[in-house]
């Protein structure tokens, strides 16, 4: 059996992963609160844990892995969004508008994450579908002396759990400051957090022993994980921003709800995302959603490739340079795969098997940056079998890459590339106003041959500079000249060069 090593946030050590039951490997990852589009930072844990999900399925078998990622569909932000729509004149009750908004947002989320090549989890529970389980868990916590009811609220007594703070490693003072705790007269201790809170008649609510109300955020994940995966399971993941207070509170209430269950054995947290070296924020004008990028023509494969270039435990910086480099690399891969497909080099493959060194890289705490180093070497050396196996395990469809990057239609006057047409990236139809890179490549080769004799390379340099200015990648070896459309390719700038 392949050995996987993961950095456990709870022990702060890289450990050999030993599942509770190799025939039933279980992972829970905190999903989105569905009130709006997923921004780029929301997408990072999706890709990180998609890679881990794929690795676990490769090592243990797909039928032996259960991956759960929830939707939080009861939340004050969702209520506020629906209320704003109602005040703006939207028809229907507030409950109808909340349901409409959550359904719409979940649909957006699925479409955007699908575009990044992420597999759907085995289970995607919605909080509203597990209210009875939440109420039952809260009742158990009260019975065990870990929670108390006060003024229509139920609160978890942090002081009743001796190990509180072990995950984040924070002192009580730091935790109070970091959590921005709500000071309320019904709290016995400032650190106590809400398990249940009252709902007014105009807000979503459910009947409970403590009156009509709705659950607190933290109890939702504990109840859903417990119901689907059991009292104890293998891996719990999410962004580092959730480590405290959300994950700290999950551990406390889940461990106190059971006599023996230890909740999650391994905790994994991905670091935050930046944009051009700065924290992403609306105030800085660098805040954008996954859909914003997709609508701007940035393929989901490019977003995924950029994410994989940085180890999950390091802050990731999204830059325009990284985007352009990722797109150029994926185009090279797609063209190489297209050539191999046309030469029938795939016919002997019944399965795309990843090379051992690639698997070893991912087994070493998901070292995706090293995996991409191997990928680039396979590309350079035309190791098609290794290239195919690597792409599949990293979550890229070889056929999809060819469709997305190896073909395009480029008409003079267009500022960009429309992918998916019949024209090869090395050809075109000048009669219809399309860029003829193949013809320009022949012309550059002829000019270079003449320059070798005359020792005057001015015309070669002029044409090469014009091609680069148009966004064409010029590759010149001793015997060959190859022109490839790069990031920012503008066929209009090639007019008059032939």
Q: Provide DSSP, 84-153.
A: HHHHTT--S-HHHHHHHHHHHHHHHHHHHHHHTTPPPPSB--BGGGGHHHHHHHHHHHHHTTSEEEETTE
Binding site listing: 30, 221, 246, 250, 282
Tokens read off for 152: 């229509």
In 3D space, the residue among 113, 141, 154 whose CA is nearest the CA of residue 31 turns out to be 113
Say if residue 222 is in the same domain as residue 257: yes
pLDDT for position 433: 37
Q: Judge if 185 and 322 occupy the same domain.
A: no
Measure the CA–CA gap between 21 and 9, rounded to whole angstroms. 21
Do 163 and 39 belong together in one domain?
Answer: yes
Which residue has tokens 């393929």?
A: 299
34 half-sphere exposure, CB direction, 13 A CA radius: 26
Task: List CB contacts of 95: < 8 A, sequence separation 6 or more.
Answer: 204
Structure tokens at 427: 């050809």
Q: Which residue ranges make up the annotated binding site for ATP?
A: 282
pLDDT < 70 regions, the chain: 172-183, 345, 347-351, 407-436, 477-480, 486-487
Q: Which residues are annotated as a binding site for Zn(2+)?
A: 30, 221, 246, 250
Check residue 351 and give its pLDDT: 65
Over the stretch 200-212, which tens digit does the pLDDT of each residue have? 888 889 999 999 9
Which pLDDT belongs to residue 424? 33
Concatenated DSSP letters for 130-145?
A: GHHHHHHHHHHHHHTT
Same domain, 370 and 450: no
Choosing from 372, 390, 409, the residue where a domain stops is: 409
Q: Beta strands 418-424 and 407-409: pairing type?
A: antiparallel
Please give the Cα distance from 78 to 205 (Å, whole number): 13
Using CA atoms, how far apart are residues 447 and 458, in angstroms rounded to an integer?
Answer: 10
- The reply to whether 38 and 164 lie within a common domain is yes
Q: What is the pLDDT of residue 225?
A: 97
Indicate whether 85 belongs to any domain.
yes
Quote the domain boundaries for residue 259.
5-270
Predicted pLDDT of residue 311: 98
288 is a domain residue: no
Q: Are residues 63 and 180 in the same domain?
A: yes
Residue appearing with tokens 């891996």: 235
443 contacts 462 by C-beta, under 8 angstroms: no
How many distinct structural domains can be found in the chain?
3
* Pair (312, 225) in one structural domain: no
């Amino acid at each position: 059996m392949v050995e996987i090593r993961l950095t456990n946030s709870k022990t702060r050590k890289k450990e050999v992963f030993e599942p509770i039951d190799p025939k039933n490997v279980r992972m829970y990852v905190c999903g989105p609160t569905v009130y709006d589009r997923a921004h780029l930072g929301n997408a990072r844990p999706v890709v990180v844990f998609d890679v881990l999900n794929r690795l676990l399925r490769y090592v243990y078998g797909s039928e032996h892995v259960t991956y759960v990622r929830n939707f939080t569909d009861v939340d004050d932000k969702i209520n506020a969004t629906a209320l704003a729509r109602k005040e703006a004149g939207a028809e229907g009750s507030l409950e109808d508008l909340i349901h409409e908004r959550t359904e719409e947002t979940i649909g957006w989320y699925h479409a955007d994450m699908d575009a990044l090549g992420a597999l759907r989890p085995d289970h995607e529970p919605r909080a509203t579908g597990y209210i009875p389980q939440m109420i039952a868990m809260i009742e158990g916590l009260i019975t065990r002396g870990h929670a108390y009811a006060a003024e229509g609220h139920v609160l978890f007594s942090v002081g009743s759990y001796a190990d509180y703070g072990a995950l984040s490693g924070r002192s009580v003072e730091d935790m109070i400051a970091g959590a921005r705790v709500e000071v309320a007269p019904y709290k016995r201790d400032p650190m106590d957090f809400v398990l249940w809170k009252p709902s007014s008649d105009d807000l979503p609510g459910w009947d409970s022993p403590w009156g009509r109300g709705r659950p607190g955020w933290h109890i939702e994940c504990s109840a859903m994980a417990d119901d689907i995966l059991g009292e104890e399971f293998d891996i719990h993941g999410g962004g580092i921003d959730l480590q405290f207070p959300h994950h700290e509170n999950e551990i406390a209430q889940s461990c106190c709800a059971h006599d023996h269950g230890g909740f999650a054995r391994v905790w994994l947290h991905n670091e935050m995302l930046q944009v051009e070296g700065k924290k992403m924020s609306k105030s800085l004008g660098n805040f954008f959603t996954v859909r914003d990028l997709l609508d701007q023509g940035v393929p989901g494969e490019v977003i995924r490739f950029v994410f994989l270039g940085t180890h999950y435990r390091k802050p990731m910086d999204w830059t325009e340079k990284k985007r352009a480099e990722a797109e150029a690399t994926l185009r090279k891969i797609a063209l190489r795969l297209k050539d191999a497909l046309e030469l029938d080099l795939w016919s002997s493959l019944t399965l795309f098997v990843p090379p051992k060194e690639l698997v070893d890289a991912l087994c070493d705490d998901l070292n995706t940056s090293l995996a991409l180093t191997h990928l680039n070497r396979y590309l350079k050396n035309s190791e098609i079998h290794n290239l195919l196996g690597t792409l599949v395990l990293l979550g890229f469809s070889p056929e999809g890459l060819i469709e997305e990057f190896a073909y395009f239609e480029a008409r003079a006057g267009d500022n960009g590339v429309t992918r998916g047409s019949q024209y090869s990236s090395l050809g075109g139809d000048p009669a219809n106003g399309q860029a003829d890179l193949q013809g320009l490549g022949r012309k550059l080769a002829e000019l270079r041959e003449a320059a070798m004799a005359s020792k005057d390379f001015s015309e070669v340099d002029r044409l090469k500079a014009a091609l680069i200015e148009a966004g064409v990648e010029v590759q010149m070896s001793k015997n060959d000249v190859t022109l490839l459309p790069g990031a920012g390719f503008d066929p209009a700038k090639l007019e008059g060069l032939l």
